[in-house]
Structure 1
Amino acid sequence: MKEAGLTKDKVVSLLSSKSDEKNKAGMARYGINVEKAFGISVNELREIAKRIGKNHELAMELWESGYREARHLAVMIEEVDRVTGTQMGKRFRFVGYMRRDVHPSVPENALRLQKVDEWMKSDKEFVRRAAFALIAALAVHDKKAEDGRFEVYFNDIKRCSVDERNYVKKAVNWALRQIGKRNRRLNKLAVGVAKELKTSDSKSAGWIGSDALRELTNPKVVMRFK
């Protein structure tokens, strides 16, 4: 149930009350700057987001606060049709290297596809990761998209599969798996790509292919298409 009257200060205070030093220490071990972090789990943030509901103005204020979890929460409560391209770029690059199941604040227009192409060309690890994380998110959430929108990314998946950087290869793997779970046709094509990657000389591509193939051929996944 939505809770009225939650201002930026009240939300930040709520986040502060849930601060977990143990989680912060774990974040720091992964090289995350915890100077403005509370160490709150994604599940707790989801519950807070449900209490707030969609709120563009509050999302803007929470983002500007600079607190890590406040920015994470801003992405969750954003009204997607009110997000500009600049805001989308900043926010998705932020969540692009965080938990993969965060629903991005992405406008329902061609701008998001332009961002995929733009970020994929970047040599920066988290920017390139954001491109494939966005592809994966679109594959999950854009139910009306035609197959062709995702087929074009198979070549990019193969090209970037040799990128050995951890965050990139995991995002490439995620994108391939989510595309392949949309329907029977895309599943067949994704399985073909996964098999090709599995036999690659690249260690990264081989891992991506093997891992994706395991899920895409899982009987539970295949049964969805029958």
Structure 2
Amino acid sequence: MIYNQVIEALYDLQNSEKVIFKEKKFGIISNNSLGIYHKDLKVIAKEIGSDNELALQLFDSGIYEARLLCSKLFKPKDVTENLMEKWVKTFENWEICDSFCMGLFSKSSFAFAKIIEWSTRKPEFEKRAAFATLASYCMADKTSENELFEQFFPIIKLEANDDRLYVKKAVNWALRSIGKRNVDLNKRAIEVANEILKFESKSAQWIAKNALTELQKENVRMSDYPRDIYRISVFKTIFKG
């Protein structure tokens, strides 16, 4: 597909009622939106396949759904720091923020650095990008040991008092994601959540209580990353038994 064909396909799916529905139901306020659901964009993205040049053209169109499509077409390994900075400054809601963070940023070689840097940003969705990237990075990085992720706990504690809805939700998401990497990080995340619980702000209280509810479940699902350590230890336990 060439650029004009994709734009035409997007306009064929235009639905103004969905723009209103997404805003009322999910709080997704977007400029120049056509009202297309993610599931429909995934169909288009699957048909096209990876295409960096087309992805960049679509982003520069300024059409909201074209920008979402960019996050599905661009190759994560080709993401540059300049592109990340260009894109993050345009985020206007959680949907597009998370689409780029989950699909591209968390899989890029700049993920760690940008998590640290963006966590101090003032704009709501630039700061959210730090923690949405971190939450996704917990799943994207399957080999790093616990020490790398423990470095993020002080940042999570520092930003837990930010009471903006989409920041505090992302901070909570990041804390829960670290706590679901393996049994040891689960224990550490629970400890951190209990430390945050002592903070006075409403946002910190919510972040901590919500995280503890999930991380302390008896059947909490964990990824056992890195698996060469945690899966092997589980197998050893089973065979010893």
Q: Distance in 2 between matches of 1:221 and 1:100?
A: 27
Percent identity among equivalent residues? 38
Question: Do the aligned residues in 1 keep the contact of 2:22 with 2:28 (CA within 8 Å)?
Answer: yes
Counterpart of 1:3 in structure 2 is none
Letter of the 1:147 partner, please give it.
Answer: N
Counterpart of 1:26 in structure 2 is 21
Question: Do the aligned residues in 2 keep the contact of 1:22 with 1:39 (CA within 8 Å)?
Answer: yes
Question: Do the aligned residues in 2 keep the contact of 1:96 with 1:130 (CA within 8 Å)?
Answer: no
Counterpart of 1:140 in structure 2 is 139
Counterpart of 1:191 in structure 2 is 190
The alignment status of 1:58 with 2:54, answered yes or no, reads yes
| The one of 35, 40, 49 aligned to 1:39 | 35
**Given the superposition, is the C-alpha separation of residues 184 and 92 from structure 1 closer, same or farther in structure 2, using an over 3 Å criterion?**
farther
Larger radius of gyration: 2
Q: Distance in 1 between matches of 2:61 and 2:179?
A: 38
The Cα shift of 1:75 comes to 0.7
Question: Do the aligned residues in 1 keep the contact of 2:135 with 2:174 (CA within 8 Å)?
Answer: yes
The Cα shift of 1:42 comes to 1.6
Q: Secondary structure at the match of 2:94?
A: coil
Q: Distance in 1 between matches of 2:195 and 2:33?
A: 41
**Given the superposition, is the C-alpha separation of residues 92 and 122 from structure 1 closer, same or farther in structure 2, using an over 3 Å criterion?**
closer
The Cα shift of 1:108 comes to 3.5
Please, which moves more after superposition, 48-57 or 97-106? 97-106
Q: Secondary structure at the match of 2:193?
A: helix
Counterpart of 1:178 in structure 2 is 177
**Given the superposition, is the C-alpha separation of residues 224 and 127 from structure 1 closer, same or farther in structure 2, using an over 3 Å criterion?**
closer
Question: Do the aligned residues in 2 keep the contact of 1:92 with 1:105 (CA within 8 Å)?
Answer: no
**Given the superposition, is the C-alpha separation of residues 101 and 184 from structure 1 closer, same or farther in structure 2, using an over 3 Å criterion?**
farther
**Given the superposition, is the C-alpha separation of residues 185 and 137 from structure 1 closer, same or farther in structure 2, using an over 3 Å criterion?**
same
Q: Secondary structure at the match of 2:103?
A: coil
Where in structure 1 are there 5+ consecutive unaligned residues? Answer: 1-5
The Cα shift of 1:204 comes to 0.5
Give me the CA root mean square deviation. 2.2
Counterpart of 2:157 in structure 1 is 158
Counterpart of 1:83 in structure 2 is 79
Q: Deviations over 1:85-128 (max 9, x none)?
A: 1112233453872267633323642x222222221121221111
The Cα shift of 1:145 comes to 2.2
Q: Distance in 2 between matches of 1:162 and 1:197?
A: 9
| The one of 9, 12, 21 aligned to 1:14 | 9
The Cα shift of 1:27 comes to 4.4
Q: Distance in 1 between matches of 2:144 and 2:49?
A: 26
Please, which moves more after superposition, 113-122 or 98-107? 98-107
Q: Distance in 2 between matches of 1:184 and 1:125?
A: 32
Q: Distance in 2 between matches of 1:129 and 1:221?
A: 25
Q: Distance in 2 between matches of 1:184 and 1:31?
A: 35
The Cα shift of 1:169 comes to 0.3
Q: Distance in 2 between matches of 1:11 and 1:158?
A: 43
TM-score by length of 2: 0.82
Letter of the 1:167 partner, please give it.
Answer: Y
Letter of the 2:65 partner, please give it.
Answer: E
